[in-house]
Amino acid sequence: MSRFNRLTHALGSVALGVALATPATAQTYPSKPIKMIVSIAAGSVTDVIMRAAGNELAPRFGQPLVIENMGGASGIIAGQACAGAAPDGHTICVIYHSTLSFNPLLFNKLPYDADKDFELVTRLFFLIEGLAVSSASGVNSVAELKAAALAKPAGFNFGTLGRGSYPELFLKWANNQWGTSIASVPFRGGGPVAQALVAGDIQAGKMGIGNFLPLLDSGKIKLIGVMAPNRSAQAPSVPTFAEAGLGDYKGRGWWGLAVPRGTPRPVVDRLNTEFTKLLVEPKFAAFLEKQAVISAPTTPEDFATFVRDDRKSAEALIKLANTPREDYAPPK
């Protein structure tokens, strides 16, 4: 056999091996524990949901799903870790609106490419978000929050998830609309924001209301607005943003599932099947409702289409918030 023929034969064998590897991978997947990177702090509502999902799905996969919380920096830390992981399905990533819709528009020098570094698996759920205040602030409504912030320009701090995060964009929008100077204080998740409100370390914050509901009975925090088309069944006395005078702010928080680019399609399909089945099971759907989120699973293709449209909505919100692009600097 000539040297050329030997080389051609060798390359053909490699190509055949790669072609055969994909279905074999799907048949044997998963072969070890699955690491689930969650882009938010432990104790936040999304963390609570994904831990419950992991417990339900472990027997179906035949392997444990191990949570690794990577909160902070508007999801960028988790996005970078996800993009750099091995594309074998043993690292899956719980991402959200900041990861794919807002960060690419707000930051230069992102350590991941939102369009090239991920395979999308499914949208998971929409958040029902709420604006909450510390009871110590003496505020009982959105109108009173605005008045108090105008009266005491240096007296109000607002919990966010860092530069460029959805809560910070809302804060910038409110400051622009109201002429206030409420300060942003970054946290790694909605759970820590809720606890800071209880402690009186901050005066207000906007997160998924599932973070606030367990603490409302303490009397130390109050919900003064729900960002949803209708009032929430979990807090029926709380007005919607439109009812509270915030109807000009349009947006909707969501969470989804992704894997590193290059993950075999049969593995993506297996993940999609198991997660979407779980999200629509009556028992788990009822659990999600108690967490004040709305189950919204999709196909990978529909999720990709949704993200493209959501980025257009994000661009409009960024303009309303008058937020310029900046270079991303890793947190110290």
DSSP state string for 144-196: HHHHHHHH-TTS-EEEESSTT-HHHHHHHHHHHHHT--PEEEE-SSHHHHHHH
Q: Is the pLDDT of residue 114 over 80?
A: yes
| pLDDT confidence of residue 92 | 98
Tokens 């409702």, residue?
Answer: 289
Strands (E), 228-270: 254-260
Instruction: From 22, 53, 76, select the one nearest 268 (Cα to Cα).
Output: 22
- What's the gap between Cα 246 and its chain centre? 22
The residues facing 295 across adjacent strands are 125
Mean pLDDT rounded to a whole number for the chain: 90
| pLDDT confidence of residue 10 | 42
Domain boundaries for CATH 3.40.190.10 within the chain: 129-227
- Of 1-15, 148-162, 164-178, minimum mean pLDDT range: 1-15
Neighbours of 25 (CB within 10 A): 17
Q: Is the pLDDT of residue 11 over 50?
A: no
36 — phi, psi (to 5°)? -115, 105
CA–CA distance, 207 with 230 (Å, rounded to integer):
17
Is 99 or 9 the better-scoring residue by pLDDT? 99
| pLDDT confidence of residue 2 | 47
Cα–Cα distance list, 78 to 41, 72, 112 (Å): 11, 8, 10
User: Is it true that domain 34-127+252-324 has CATH number 3.40.190.150?
Assistant: yes
- What's the gap between Cα 55 and its chain centre? 20
Contacts of residue 178, defined as CB under 8 A and 6 or more positions apart, other chains included, come to 146, 149, 150
CATH class of 129-227: alpha beta
The residues facing 223 across adjacent strands are 132
Query: For residue 41, what is the DSSP state?
Result: -
- Of 35-39, 55-59, 170-174, 297-301, minimum mean pLDDT range: 170-174
| pLDDT confidence of residue 262 | 98
Neighbours of 47 (CB within 10 A): 22
Tokens describing residue 28: 């044997």
Per the CB < 8 A criterion, the answer to whether 81 and 300 are in contact is: no
Confidence of residue 90 (pLDDT cuts 50, 70, 90): very high
Confidence of residue 26 (pLDDT cuts 50, 70, 90): low
Domain boundaries for CATH 3.40.190.150 within the chain: 34-127+252-324
Share of the chain above pLDDT 70, in %: 92
DSSP string, 117-133: SEEEEEEEEEE-EEEEE
| pLDDT confidence of residue 12 | 44
